[in-house]
Amino acid sequence: MKLLLKAVHIIDPGGKLHKQTKDIFIEKGEIVKIGDKLNFEADKTISIENLHVSKGWFDSSISFGEPGFEERETLDNGLKVAAKSGFTAIALNANTKPVPDNSSAISFFRNKTGLHGVGIYPKGALSPGAKGKDLAELFDMSKAGAVAFSDYKKPIGNPNLLKIALQYAQGFDALVASYPQENAIATNGLVHEDTMSTHLGLKGIPALAEELQIARDLFILEYTGGKLHIPTISSKKSVQLIKEAKEKGLDVSCSVAIANLLFTDKELHDFDSKFKVLPPLRGKEDMLALREGLKSGVIDMLTCDHMPRTIEEKKVEFENAAFGSIGLETAFAALRKIFDTETCIQFLTAGKTRFKIPNYAIAENQPAELSFFLPNAEYNYQTNTLLSTSKNSIFTDTVLKGKTVGIFANQKLSLF
């Protein structure tokens, strides 16, 4: 395919073409020429007013449904949602049914990559069936294409399992992820434990449950060595713990969910289950500390933590509603509420190196992997505009600024 992009605004922090307006000619999936007023014969020419392009975006925590929960989201439609949302690569969580805990399951996901522009980088379960008892076939899954190992949203209760995993994974340079929650303290909590949970009469999840688990995991990492990723931290103290660990030289990374950067537990006053997420929305002090941790680099990456849920799972009493919100289609616009365009792109393109995912430059003779967006477009975000099968968005009925148009990746153009 020959593709010509006309007068696009390039956002590439650190790159030579950052903030320049250029034409880009792509042939056979490679950037052939970047210049002014190019006149190449193309199969398709794209000329959209104020169209911006950047390196392809990546998200480290995406859930769909297939296999096992196709009513939430199929892989085919989920990848279309990711493309519409500007993402060229996603790390897929190990929370399907059956759980991907062997090389065949990983191969199933990897084989889907060639059919879409969006690259699927699956995570393998850390333990068989994600039951937290024994170590799964990490090496075999790594050879099949798994980029990390984690029992999604399930803490590693047995510290010896984490110890063995970190030691074993060093033999093939694998990344182990540990969800930060001590269940003995969190128990059956629903929201952040604070004055709001008391006011609402809802059982709380103390920030202590997260911080104790992180402290434990960091002690184990210091003993074993290896590479540890802590997904979706949510408290001020968690940021400090990870900062101190990095200053010691420990090989640890972490992420934060976009919802925790924009909302606090004050949103729960109407018992609206769209705000029921895990980790829970915490206080304003925590939210501000997370933003600062992201800007300072203590937090390595952000995620929309996309988790589709059916109407039957969310439109019930708050206590019975499932945790989670979709977030792919609002990721860029949500970030635009608190960051400028350049900063948003820095965060949306971070994390690839940690997960061993290619990060191609916007330059001639480089593979073309680009995200398309209109940073100043405003619109009212409604569920009837969603491509996602599940409609459980925390941003429903919100005026947003910043619209994604699609991607070019894997020699495929996805334009919406």
pLDDT value for 397: 87
Nearest to 117 by CA among 67, 70, 81, 72: 81
Yes or no: say if 94 and 150 are a contact pair by the CB < 8 Å rule.
yes
Is 173 catalytic? The answer is no
Contacts of 326 (CB under 8 A, 6+ apart): 304, 306, 307, 308, 309, 386, 388, 390, 391, 392, 393
Contacts of 21 (CB under 8 A, 6+ apart): 7, 8, 9, 10
Contacts of 199 (CB under 8 A, 6+ apart): none
Contacts of 151 (CB under 8 A, 6+ apart): 94, 125, 126, 127, 130, 132, 179
Question: Which CATH number is correct for 56-355, 3.40.50.10490, 2.30.30.30, 3.20.20.140, 3.30.565.10?
Answer: 3.20.20.140
Reading phi first (left if > 0) and then psi (alpha if -120 to 50, else beta), residue 235 is in beta
Gap between the Cα atoms of 58 and 79, Å rounded: 13
pLDDT value for 114: 77
CATH class held by domain 2-52+364-415: mainly beta
pLDDT value for 383: 86
pTM above 0.75, yes or no: yes
Tokens 């650190």 correspond to 14
Yes or no: say if 18 and 29 are a contact pair by the CB < 8 Å rule.
no
pLDDT value for 58: 98
**Residue 321 DSSP class:** S
Q: Which of 265, 305, 340, 397 is catalytic?
A: 305
pLDDT value for 194: 97
* pLDDT tens string 150-197: 999 999 999 999 999 999 999 999 999 999 999 999 999 999 999 999
Give the residue extent of every domain in the chain.
Answer: 2-52+364-415, 56-355
Q: Apex CA 250: angle with CA 241 and CA 277, to 5°?
A: 45
**Residue 152 DSSP class:** T
**Residue 178 DSSP class:** -
Q: Which two tokens stand for residue 156?
A: 């590693």
pLDDT value for 115: 83
**Residue 64 DSSP class:** -
> Which regions of the chain are under pLDDT 50?
none
